[in-house]
Each structure stands twice: as C-alpha cells, then as structure tokens.
Structure 1
Amino acid sequence: MPVPRTEHVRYRRFRPAVKVARARARDVARRWGLDELADDLETIIGELVANAVVHGRATRGSRVTVTYRLINQRLMVEVRDWATGVVNIQQPADPDEGFEEGGRGLAIVSALSYRWGVIPRVIGKTVWCELEATRSG
C-alpha cells in the first residue's frame, strides 16, 4: 500500500510567485513519480495561484499556500488565500471584439481535473481539485 504524501508551500502574494509555483508543481510531479500529470498540474497551479494573487483584496504581506496530497491514485491540490472575493467560472471575454483575454482559469481547472471546488473560510477561501494518477516511479 503506497504511503500518502503531503507537501505545503507558501508564496508571497505577488505576481512573480505564479512562475515559481508553476515550476514547483512540475517538480512535485517529477519527485512523486507522477510525470504524466506534470503538464496539467503546472497549468492548474498556475491558474489557481494567479487567481489568488491577482483577484481579491488582501492585507499587505498576505500569503498563498499550496498543498499537495497524494493518496492512492488521487492527487489533491489546495490553494488557500486570505483575500476577499468570490470564485466562479466566468464567461471568457471575446478577443475578437477587442476585449481583454481572461476569465478562462477556472474553466481550464475544471477541464483538467477529475473534480474541483471551493471551500469558503472565515477569511479567504480554499480552491481545491483532484487529479487521477498512475505512479510511474
């Protein structure tokens, strides 16, 4: 029976953290023998951390925490922030009509994950998703 794994990573709530979080997600997939999930995991973490950093209002110096949990054949990912704001899938803007691109993040998370959801907190929220995996190592 495989031993469950857990890893927590905290990031400062600023835009450069997104790139660092994406690289860490790929590293977690590699170290945990989940190479087939590396691309999807990197994309999902990039979207969720970007949402936590860009949207919502938080106090200066607040953090974003990413938690990875591998239990059996499921990888659970949680992105926790302490910012105000509501999480929902929005209709993306139409770039052909001159609007900014955007609004696709949670739709991408939904498409790439087995399931996902939001847990409201007294302060902030946790957005989570699960990915199905077959271990390669």
Structure 2
Amino acid sequence: MADQGTEQARYRRQRPSVRAARADARALAGKWKHPEIAAELALLVSEVVTNAVIHGDAGRGSQVQVTYRLLDDRLRVDVRDAATGRPRILRPTPLPDELREFGRGLTVVASLAHRWGVIPRVIGKSVWFEVLLGTRVAPDTEQAVFR
C-alpha cells in the first residue's frame, strides 16, 4: 500500500480539544477528497481522542497526538497519548443504556472502523483504526488487533 499523504496534529489533554480534533478530521476528509467518510471519521476521532483526554492522564501539560495516513484504499488514524494501560471494550453493565454515561467509545470504534487496535509504546500507547475508502465493507469480526 502506497502512502498518499500524512498529516499530524497535537492537542492539549483538555475537553475542548475533542471538538477541535473532530473538526480537523472532517476538514481533512474534504482536503483529501473523501467527503463520504467525513462524518464517520469525525465520530471515530472524537471517540478515541475523548478516551485519550479523559483516561490518558499522564503528566501535566501532556498532549494527544493524532496522525492520519492516507493509503490507497484506506485511511489509518493513530491517536497517541503518554499514559500507560491498554484500553478495552467494556462489558455491558446492568444499567439501562440511557443511564450509562461512559464506556461506549471503543464499542463505537469496533463497530464503525474496518480494523482497530492498540500499540504499546515506550512512553504511553497508540490507539489506531482504519476506515476503508470507496466501497463500504463490514468491519472485521475481530474486536481488535494488537501489534
């Protein structure tokens, strides 16, 4: 797969950064001439950046880095933070869905992304996902790919 382009953005670990990351994702989909994935991409970026902002509690002033790689048939997004730990999909709780405030982000990612996974880093981790371009294909049945 040939790399058609790479973009990178850094955000402070603050809640307003999620809105900025979502807007940047939409804009990038348009810039790279793939407006058909703009809404889905914005939602996926929003979910993963939200997790990094809320749960990625590393040192004061730490940032969240988002890297976009446009490949021939897909867009790969890598969201990196400095916190350790491995995010995971939470099991359903006995609370009704409308009362659950948190815990659905990776379920959304697993449902919409073609593939996703976690890469441990020397400092922190990266959560990545891929969105197919053009023809829509159902996501892999595997919940995550770790590598």
TM-score (ref. length: structure 2): 0.84
RMSD: 2.0
**CA offset at residue 56 of structure 1?**
3.4
Which digits, 9 at most, give the CA deviation of each residue in 1:17-61, with x for residues without a partner? 000000000000011111110111000000000000001320000
Question: Could you tell me how far apart the structure 2 residues matched to 1:29 and 1:101 are?
Answer: 29
**CA offset at residue 86 of structure 1?**
2.3
Aligned residues: 134
Alignment of 1:92-103 (within 5 A): 92-96=92-96, 99-103=99-103
Contact 1:25 1:45 in 2 (8 A): yes
Higher relative contact order (CA 8 A, sep 6+): 1
**CA offset at residue 134 of structure 1?**
2.4
Question: Could you tell me how far apart the structure 1 residues matched to 2:55 and 2:131 are?
Answer: 24
Which residue identity lines up with residue 36 of structure 1 in the other structure?
A: E
Question: Could you tell me how far apart the structure 2 residues matched to 1:35 and 1:92 are?
Answer: 33
Which residue identity lines up with residue 12 of structure 1 in the other structure?
A: R
Alignment of 1:1-137 (within 5 A): 4-96=4-96, 99-134=99-134
The runs of 5 or more residues in structure 2 that have no matched partner are: 136-147
Does the C-alpha gap of structure 1 residues 97 and 6 become closer, same or farther in structure 2, counting only changes over 3 Å? closer
Farther off after superposition, 126-135 or 28-37: 126-135
Identity of aligned residues (%): 51
SS at match of 1:4: strand
Contact 1:92 1:101 in 2 (8 A): no
The runs of 5 or more residues in structure 1 that have no matched partner are: none
Question: Could you tell me how far apart the structure 1 residues matched to 2:69 and 2:97 are?
Answer: 41
Which digits, 9 at most, give the CA deviation of each residue in 1:50-104, with x for residues without a partner? 0000013200000100000011011000000001332100024455388532211
Does the C-alpha gap of structure 1 residues 68 and 98 become closer, same or farther in structure 2, counting only changes over 3 Å? closer
SS at match of 1:21: helix
Contact 2:86 2:118 in 1 (8 A): no
Equivalent residue, structure 1, for 2:139: none
TM-score (ref. length: structure 1): 0.90
Which residue identity lines up with residue 68 of structure 1 in the other structure?
A: Y
Contact 2:26 2:42 in 1 (8 A): yes
Which residue identity lines up with residue 106 of structure 2 in the other structure?
A: L
